[in-house]
Homo-oligomer: A and B are copies of this chain.
Amino acid sequence: MQIPDSLERLILEFSKLPGIGRKTAQRLAFGVLRYSPQEAENLANAVSEIKKRIRFCSVCFSFTEIDPCSICTDPARHHETICVVEQPNNIFPIEKSRVYQGVYHVLMGAISPLEGIGPEQLKIRQLEKRIEQGGVRELILATNPTVQGEATALYLQQTLGPQVAKITRLARGIPAGGDLDYVDDVTLIEAFSGRRSF
């Protein structure tokens, strides 16, 4: 018995999603098979609509349905502080925590010579333009704590340093709720070197 063509096609489409292997794709496809026709239509429409309705903000390159996005146009946000992240989705956890009141700039990646991604492939020129327009007092580098993220932060610090009064990066250390037994060496070294008086 062959898996029916249309089922095989859905399994293939699901397995293209990030982190979804063949087995999980099968489970998802079988799940859709148990849906009512209306439920399946809802999922199909949601997938189809998203590419039509979501675009990138022309100022900060975050996801948005209206351009510029609601953060860039919000007068209550602190427009003199820009938090620089790698991907649009990095903004959601920061917003969820309500810790930050400034605006954002999405680089759309990180410097990675092995993958052929240099500074010119990222939205760094656009960030420089925002700084040239004036009013930016602090740049918070929130790139990922990876080799690529670190390289990108270093590059930004070197090229934009002369233009911005203050460039900071997020603190490194032991995560809340973590266990010392499971903390890696690099994190421990950063936690020690960044220790603060109690």
Chain A residues packing against B (C-beta within 8 Å): 1-7, 9-10, 12-14, 16-20, 24, 26-33, 35, 37, 39-54, 62-65, 69-71, 87-89, 91-92, 95
Contact = CB atoms under 8 A, between A and B. Distances in A.
A41 B95 CA distance: 30
Contacts of A44: 44-45, 47-48
With most chain B CB atoms within 10 A of its CB, the pick from A6, A12, A47, A91 is: A47
A42 B88 CA distance: 24
A24 B19 contact: yes
Nearest to A66: B4
B50 A10 contact: yes
Contacts of A13: 42-43, 46-47
A54 B1 contact: no
A178 B106 CA distance: 47
Nearest to A87: B30
A47 B43 contact: yes
- For the complex, would chain A's binding face be called helix, strand, loop or mixed by DSSP majority? helix
A60 B188 CA distance: 60
B32 A40 contact: no
Contacts of A10: 46-47, 49-50
Contact of A51 (B35, B46, B87): B35
Contact of A71 (B1, B14, B27, B47): B1
A79 to B, nearest CB: 14
A177 to B, nearest CB: 16
A51 to B, nearest CB: 4
A45 B35 CA distance: 15
A88 B4 CA distance: 12
Given A13-B42, A32-B47, A50-B32, A65 B5 contact: yes
